[in-house]
Structure 1
Amino acid sequence: MLNEEKYGTYDVIIIGGSAAGLSAAMTLGRSQRKVLIIDEGLPCNRQTPHSHNFLTQDGATPAQIALTAKSQVLAYPTVYWESGRAQNVTQEHGIFVVRTDRNGEYFKGKKLILATGIKDILPTIPGFDACWGITAIHCPYCHGYEFRGKKTAILANGERAMHLVSLVRNLTADLTLLTNGTANLDAKQLKKLRQHDITLIEAPLISLIHEKGHVRQLVLEGTDHLTMDALYAAVPFQQHSNIHRTLGCTETEQGHIKIDAFQKTNVPGVFACGDNSSGMRSVANAVAAGNLAGAAANMELVQDNF
């Protein structure tokens, strides 16, 4: 059902109310666009204790940043918030119809911004999920400074492993590479590891011993426990929502929503921003992408009516 009196047709509907979605909403709100944000409250960084590498907010919790951002965005009188999950989107006569999981409720919008995020596919290693985002981490730029000089392991293989090793080696000399099985590395790469005194272990990782998410030891098959302070991990991901696929949005080879320089997808009127369309996973990047998506959506609205 649609409450026409309360909602009518929005200029833009934003699916996802974390950093990217809120940033897009602020840009649109400041252009006096009628905007609806639909969010189910499950950001991928909800377990991360602190956010870093974001000017003015370094060290704040992601929850604090989101709460402040939400209060500032909703201060604009044309921006609205709806709690819930957007289940599907269709188009009717050039208007996007977004249906939610709340009693069949739906909303209409002229443009659509997908800020739906991604979901990490964590390995089924005991203790890993409890440490994820705390001491089992993915990004040296987001977390590396806090673990500088610490005993650090990297769980990865192949080219991805070498990429992470090269970045993390700048932060600590006490570095171990865990390939979790036979190393997919050539002679040149192995020589690089030896040159930088990086230990290579191929034994499978069995479990993480931790205290409230703070890793203490890594248990490897057939070896002694390794004392560690941090574990970087290159884990695969999946899109948090399939809405872009039902709309016909294409993806990159890596699985991100494919966008142009202005956050536009291949589907007219549909934009994407944040982790769902970028390999640069950070709050700062999400805010920048959302700002651009909001401006691009507003420009299309201008062009449609000017």
Structure 2
Amino acid sequence: MNTKSKKFDTIIIGGSYSGLAAGMALGRALKTVLIIDSGKPANAQTPHSHNFLTQDGNTPKGIATIGKQQVEQYENVNFYNGLATNGTKIENGFEITTEAGEKFQATKLIFATGIKDIMPKIEGFAESWGISAIHCPYCHGYEVRNTKTGILGNGEYAYELSKMISNWTKDLTIYTNGKSTLNVEQTKKLSSHNIAIVEKEIKKLDHIEGYIRNIEFIDGTKSPLTALYSPRPFIQHCPIPESLGCELTEEGYIKVNGFQETSVEGIYACGDNTTKMRTVANAVAAGTTAGMSASKKLILEQF
């Protein structure tokens, strides 16, 4: 941290794409900002980022490094390396406490903290997550187009996802990891598109540095595989917004309006913690919106 100040106009918790974008917007509005970041982005092991104009194919770390370097040019934006562990409402704002016990205060808070994916109990899955065990065809589909591809899922969820993924490959199999709950009509429709259904229980994913080679079943058999789509259930990475009273949606995202405002006055949220649109481009856009919205409120309140 490059300042001794403990009070800021805005504290941003989370210093990846969305948090950096919010920091830039606030910095350019001449507001004092503290970005608290623990340095553990959810896409740390993803090799390349796509569908972000001007940065297509760059590494997530490369994009974040450029972003931080640019935000650091604004003297009123400060950085703190550490984990925010608690937040409280105080007069005229909020106080954030870090794991190290330091306390910082601000009029506004922006949470750009992302979500934590819950991994299935399948050996090799976590190591392949974001590399060849993937969640989004718009992020990864082009790179694994026309390859042996699987969907880990069952029932309505797997059926609907198979419609999408069949756009990128015709060599598609649904792995239900147990008895199929697809109905007769769905099964017939999938068969008409040559989409197989495998009901065997899965033991592990054979991979080399995260790139899947085979899917291995409990019975000892294997099937060659290049990519496995499996959008994961998740929890909020940071519990502070909920502890401060921010509403969550039924799906578990932080509820925000079009200005990235949460249900609590003075608190904003942006990026993966607010939407299933998990792309770098979307995170940057949401962060910019949050930063601009918070700065406008500050400007009008300080007039």
TM-score, normalised relative to structure 1: 0.96
What are structure 1's unaligned runs of at least 5 residues? none
In 1, Cα distance between the equivalents of 2:293 and 2:189?
A: 44
* Structure-2 residue corresponding to 1:296: 293
* Structure-1 residue corresponding to 2:122: 125
* Structure-2 residue corresponding to 1:54: 52
Aligned residue identity for 2:14: G
From 21, 24, 27, give the equivalent of 1:26: 24
In 2, Cα distance between the equivalents of 1:137 and 1:215?
A: 11
Residue 277 of structure 1 aligns to a residue whose secondary structure is: coil
* Structure-2 residue corresponding to 1:189: 186
From 11, 14, 25, give the equivalent of 2:12: 14
In 2, Cα distance between the equivalents of 1:184 and 1:285?
A: 34
In 1, Cα distance between the equivalents of 2:259 and 2:211?
A: 40
In 1, Cα distance between the equivalents of 2:260 and 2:102?
A: 28
From 72, 75, 78, give the equivalent of 1:77: 75
Q: Is 1:230 matched up with 2:227?
A: yes
* Structure-2 residue corresponding to 1:172: 169
Aligned residue identity for 2:7: T
Spell out, residue by residue over 1:104-150, the C-alpha distance to the aligned partner (whole angstroms, 9 max, x if none). Answer: 11111000000011011001211111111111111100000000000
* Structure-1 residue corresponding to 2:199: 202
* Structure-2 residue corresponding to 1:145: 142
Residue 127 of structure 2 aligns to a residue whose secondary structure is: helix
Structure 1 residues 198 and 188, CA gap change in structure 2 (3 angstroms): same
CA contact (8 A) 2:136 2:231 kept: no
Residue 142 of structure 2 aligns to a residue whose secondary structure is: helix
Aligned residue identity for 2:22: A
Aligned residue identity for 2:52: F
Task: Please show how residues 266-285 of structure 1 align to structure 2 within 5 Å.
Answer: 266-285=263-282
Residue 275 of structure 1 aligns to a residue whose secondary structure is: coil
From 131, 149, 159, give the equivalent of 1:162: 159
Q: CA deviation at 1:188?
A: 2.6
Aligned residue identity for 2:278: R
Q: Is 1:253 matched up with 2:278?
A: no
Aligned residue identity for 1:157: N
Instruction: Judge which range, 29-38 or 181-190, deviates more.
Output: 181-190
Q: CA deviation at 1:296?
A: 0.8
CA RMSD of aligned residues (A): 1.3
Poorly superposed stretches of 4+, deviation over 6 Å: none
CA contact (8 A) 1:160 1:234 kept: no
In 2, Cα distance between the equivalents of 1:129 and 1:8?
A: 38
CA contact (8 A) 1:34 1:78 kept: yes
Residue 273 of structure 2 aligns to a residue whose secondary structure is: helix
- Figure out how many residues of one structure are paired with residues of the other and give that number: 302
Aligned residue identity for 2:218: E
Residue 78 of structure 2 aligns to a residue whose secondary structure is: strand
Q: CA deviation at 1:94?
A: 2.2
Sequence identity percentage: 51
In 2, Cα distance between the equivalents of 1:51 and 1:195?
A: 34
TM-score, normalised relative to structure 2: 0.97
Q: CA deviation at 1:8?
A: 4.2
In 2, Cα distance between the equivalents of 1:303 and 1:28?
A: 14
Q: CA deviation at 1:223?
A: 6.2
Spell out, residue by residue over 1:4-41, the C-alpha distance to the aligned partner (whole angstroms, 9 max, x if none). Answer: x8214211100000011001111111111111100000
In 1, Cα distance between the equivalents of 2:142 and 2:206?
A: 23
Residue 177 of structure 2 aligns to a residue whose secondary structure is: coil
From 83, 89, 93, give the equivalent of 1:91: 89
What are structure 2's unaligned runs of at least 5 residues? none
Instruction: Judge which range, 47-56 or 223-232, deviates more.
Output: 223-232
* Structure-2 residue corresponding to 1:115: 112
